[in-house]
Chain A
Amino acid sequence: AQSVAQPEDQVNVAEGNPLTVKCTYSVSGNPYLFWYVQYPNRGLQFLLKYITGDNLVKGSYGFEAEFNKSQTSFHLKKPSALVSDSALYFCAVRDMINDYKLSFGAGTTVTVRA
């Protein structure tokens, strides 16, 4: 079985400050890890992915994520948040050995105040 945990329902930061959204995962096989963003009344948009290689992955809109195998974490980061980053963020894991199922966390609502 696989699972994704996003421990924070909400993250609030001031514009210009660093933003971190936390994610931990559990999977029996080799994990592929993803971050998605959802704006109101829209579908999920892909931000970035980790498959192999460097633990620091860079994605769209200035976001990056750090894969930590020992802590089974894949936290999303942005050095300087914008008001336009306010949205719902989902972490996802895919088991690339067993069943290729794509499972999502509960989501974290990010609010960036001006």
Chain B
Amino acid sequence: DAGVIQSPRHEVTEMGQEVTLRCKPISGHDYLFWYRQTMMRGLELLIYFNNNVPIDDSGMPEDRFSAKMPNASFSTLKIQPSEPRDSAVYFCASSPLSGGAFFGQGTRLTVV
């Protein structure tokens, strides 16, 4: 398995634009997590899914953020409209029912 795959690796966009981050989890994993990492806030859990169903989205900072998991092999995190304070590294991770999570390489988002 190629591991968790995120795209794009880097994204630079202008304030107000829509941004879509993509994630392909490891096949067979039941859980998918989206995290955001910044120097100020560390690693924050934004939302996680179990079998494609969102379980807890209390970490999503604002209504501008939304996440979907239309099937077991794909998830998106969308920011609309984007703001400079959204600049961060966004990680996707997947895990089996029991055990730890495997992380993707992350998407470094810069909003100018």
Contact = CB atoms under 8 A, between A and B. Distances in A.
Interface of A: 32, 34, 36, 42-46, 49, 51, 90, 92, 94, 96, 99-107
A46 B100 contact: yes
B102 interface: yes
Interface residues of B, number: 24
The majority secondary structure among interface residues of chain A is strand
12 contacts: A42-B106, A43-B103, A49-B99, A90-B43, A99-B55, A100-B97, A101-B55, A102-B93, A103-B45, A104-B35, A104-B43, A107-B43
Contacts of A107: 42-43
A49 to B, nearest CB: 5
Interface string B45-85: 10010100001100000000000000000000000000000
A44 B42 contact: no
Contact of A101 (B4, B56, B91): B56
B102 A46 contact: yes
Contacts of B43: 90, 104, 106-107
